[in-house]
Amino acid sequence: MSQPLEGARSEVDVVVIGAGPAGENAAGRCADGGLDVVIVERELVGGECSYWGCIPSKVLLRPGDVIAAARRVPGAAETVTGSVDVAAAFARRDRMTGSWSDESQVPWLEDKGIELVRGAGRLAGARV
């Protein structure tokens, strides 16, 4: 059985469950519209994309894309002789995502007046 969060407000206009890209967008738009917003996140603000999905995969794809693009440019193509340094690509990915900290993404919530609640949210009640 769930219990109310200690010190949590009992009334707000909007509660957003999940601070991934969609949740951040919804919370931001509601706050911009003058609504009182709380966002509930059980892991990291930014969600899966920032830490496990989109960003890590794009960081790994970028070196190959850059080399391929340079090989298509007359005058530059001839100078591109190497290939992707896979170990360096993985090291860069780890630097980009390895801290598991959302401290750089939380301030925008605060700037918009959105309250962040750390924990798991769920919809419950007779009319849900």
Q: What's the pLDDT score for residue 106?
A: 93
Q: What's the pLDDT score for residue 6?
A: 66
DSSP single-letter state for residue 11: -
Dist CA 125 CA 111 (whole Å): 32
Q: Which portions of the chain are predicted below pLDDT 70? A: 1-8
Domain residue extents for the chain: 14-116
Percent of the chain that is helix, strand, coil (3-state, to 5): 45, 10, 45
Q: What's the pLDDT score for residue 4?
A: 60
Q: What's the pLDDT score for residue 53?
A: 84
CATH number of 14-116: 3.50.50.60
Q: What tokens does 36 get? A: 């009182």
Q: What's the pLDDT score for residue 98?
A: 79
Q: What is the pTM of this model?
A: 0.71
